[in-house]
Chain A
Amino acid sequence: MLWACILLPQLALDGVLRRHATPDEPLVLVDGPVQRRVLRAVNTAAKTAGLRAGMPLATAQAICARFAAVEHDPAETTRWHDFLAAWAYRYGAQVSRQMPAALLIEVEASFRLFGPWPRMEAMLREDLAALGFRHRIALAPNPWAARALAGVHDGLAITHEAPLKQALGQLPVERAGLPSEAAGSLRRMGLRRLAQVYALPRAALGRRVGTDTLDQLDRLDGTLATPLTLYQPPDHFESRIEFNYEVGATGQLLFPLRRMTGDLAAYLAGRDGGVQRFVLRLEHDRGAATDIPIGLLAPERDAAMLFELARGRLDLVQLAAPVRALQLIARELPPFVPAGRDLFDVRPQQAVPWEQLRERLRARLGDDAVHGLAVHADHRPERAWRDHGDSVAAPPLSRPGWLLAQPVPLRDREMRILAGPERIESGWWDGDVRRDYYVVETAAGQRAWAFCPAGERGGFMLHGWFA
């Protein structure tokens, strides 16, 4: 087995930045008690301005006049960790998020699908860069070694025991994931590198630093196998963005919405599923939240398409109150079946398949705006059609191409009757119809399908056009 460790050194900050409208301006994460606020993390712009993590907030304010301070939220960080685990799940069946700010993926089993490690590593990096998370990646035959090596190296790939031994030997003692007191005491003994520690007699070392440290040393070189708790993807998706200001126009929600639909698409790709129905929930300060349900006819997972659909629905919404938070909830995640495309299908640019076009039309025009046509077995013209389903064979009768939704009186003194009457008498059980239908030609030259009550010959009602 080969384990890849993705270390996320700035998980909390990246999680905030990727949702921030202006990530290039100075921004810091603060936490700690109200009397003593401390900078927890700073972004590049803030670092350039001279701010450092660990600095008290008051000092920071003295150094730099304008920067955004965001409250550090451990729950939020956990959510991002979960989200990334869901993303990583597409690259391997065994994913663990047990270690803080790190993801471990068993990748050797996936090489046949994604190609050798360099290619797979490039894919991982590309995805993470697109999602907006800084990262360090290392590959090792066991997860503990991968984690320890990712702390020191970026892009190191070790596939065999001998080079692993050598690389571990070079590792500084305090970076090996040993208990901190043990690492400190080893250092005081003059041991800098792990190679020196491994060279010591084991029993004597155990007495000095305790079994915990011995276990960790054994885990690193793979002699002790400790199972990891593996990640189980949830079967629904939820994402929430809280604004620290009031949003009064739906246009301002588009940026966070694009991120959310992108995250949803990443999550769906990870579980090889699609989404057929999701809800956008706009939370207000007062009053009930506004729910915008977005339904699709078939499961989809394309990020751009999901964004476009959600945006189409959002544009129609009149905001009753300013929005404080935006939430995307997808509970039904059916399997996704990609549409088959012909290899030799030469199609113009901007081409979209019909399914996507239909969703786009429905998003703007309404859910029932697009429908098919089918012949239904009924004598009454109003009921002789359906907007979905399979057709029965059409009876060989003369029927007009256009049917009026509601019959209207036909006032034409000079019309000629071309054919008829055809008696249609049916439906005593629901909506009785007794009519004599005629094909008539109006003075203007139109051919109409008109009826009058059975047995009479006057008071013609227009019901269709033979166009």
Chain B
Amino acid sequence: MSNVVALDHLFDARRLWRGQPQARAPSRQPTGFALLDAALPGGGWPEGALSEVLLPLDGIGELTLLWPTLARLTRAGGLVALVAPPYLPFPAAWAHAGVQLDRLQVVRAEPRDVPWATEQCLRSAACAAVLCWPQQPDDRTLRRLQLAAETGQCLGLAMRPASAAAHASPAALRLALETNPARLRVLKCRGGNPPARPLPWPLPAGMSTTSSPGSLFAAVPDRA
């Protein structure tokens, strides 16, 4: 045991490989919740892809989940479009959550125009994030939205009813909020297995703490 070799050298000489060959760079789209970031393979929202949030009811915390992301994006000057929200976003509360109201745009659309408007917003690359509430989208519509998000390198967020969980979806990430008991379940995440156990809801706020598993991984130097 006299010859102590640092792990780094072994990596450099390619004599030692990582089990997971591609160490991912931390996502540039953290959710703002350390616990959720740690549970997701990319460490945050999948970039340039569609994510779904499945909701059994309105008013159970969907905005609490999204506000930190929207606040971060709008503060950085990005534009956030809400396509056909079911209710009026109450400006005082959104401002209180840190969202820059002048970077927020609401698009009113008839149900049949919602997929079109969402696709235009996603594809245009003019928006940092697009939130949509599509009514009964079929598989083709969702695939189009996913492609549009890829083309426009835009964060697409679709709010859908919980019943949609039974059907497959091309979205890169599917989260389901549940009530009674309140918890957050990751149904699907591209690039990794979804965590087996649901996360508690409401999630403790805060970007990252030393004890979170995400930071443990981040402490290991990454090697591409």
Question: Interface on A for B, CB 8 Å cutoff?
Answer: 347-354, 356-358, 360-361, 364-366, 368-376, 381, 384-385, 387, 390-391, 394-397, 399-405, 444-448, 464-467
Contact = CB atoms under 8 A, between A and B. Distances in A.
A132 B92 CA distance: 56
Contacts of A381: 90
A347 B85 CA distance: 27
Contact of A361 (B79, B87, B120): B120
Contacts of B104: 372-373
Contacts of B94: 373, 401
A463 to B, nearest CB: 10
18 contacts: A348-B151, A350-B124, A351-B152, A352-B126, A357-B126, A369-B107, A372-B101, A384-B91, A391-B101, A396-B96, A399-B96, A401-B67, A401-B89, A403-B88, A403-B89, A404-B88, A447-B59, A467-B59
B58 to A, nearest CB: 5
Contacts of A371: 105-106, 108
Nearest to A357: B124
Contact of A375 (B61, B92, B179): B92
Contacts of A349: 151
Contacts of B217: none
B82 to A, nearest CB: 9
A395 B79 CA distance: 24
B88 A385 contact: yes
B63 A402 contact: yes
Contacts, number: 161
A390 B102 CA distance: 8
Contacts of A369: 107-109
A304 to B, nearest CB: 14
Contact of A373 (B59, B61, B106): B106
Q: Which label, helix, strand, loop or mixed, suits the secondary structure of the A interface?
A: loop
A394 B91 contact: yes
Interface in B96-132: 96-97, 101-102, 104-110, 113, 116-117, 120-121, 123-127
Contact of A402 (B88, B107, B153): B88
Contact of A394 (B56, B62, B92): B92
Nearest to A391: B101
A385 B91 contact: yes
Most buried by B among A357, A368, A403: A357
B108 to A, nearest CB: 5
A400 B105 contact: no
B16 interface: no
B95 A394 contact: yes
Interface of B: 56-64, 67, 79, 85-97, 101-102, 104-110, 113, 116-117, 120-121, 123-127, 151-153, 179-180, 182
A384 B85 CA distance: 18
Nearest to B87: A402
Contact of A348 (B79, B120, B153): B153
B93 A373 contact: no
Contacts of B58: 402, 446, 465, 467
Nearest to A368: B108
A467 B106 CA distance: 18
A445 B179 CA distance: 6
A467 B62 contact: yes
Given A347-B125, A354-B126, A446 B60 contact: yes
Query: 9 shortest A-B CB distances, which residue pairs?
Result: A465-B59, A445-B179, A402-B87, A351-B125, A354-B126, A467-B63, A401-B63, A446-B59, A394-B92
A145 B63 CA distance: 74
Contact of A365 (B56, B86, B93, B107): B107
A375 B62 contact: no
Nearest to B109: A365
Contacts of B87: 402-405, 464-465
B90 A402 contact: yes
B95 A391 contact: yes
Nearest to A358: B105
A361 B105 CA distance: 12
Given A357-B121, A364-B116, A467-B61, 18 more contacts: A353-B126, A354-B127, A356-B124, A357-B120, A357-B124, A373-B106, A375-B91, A375-B101, A384-B90, A385-B92, A399-B93, A400-B59, A401-B94, A402-B63, A402-B90, A444-B179, A444-B180, A445-B182
Contacts of B153: 348
A183 B116 CA distance: 69
A365 B120 CA distance: 12
Nearest to A464: B90
Contacts of B64: 467
A374 B101 contact: yes
B116 to A, nearest CB: 7
Contacts of A385: 88, 90-92
A373 B108 contact: no
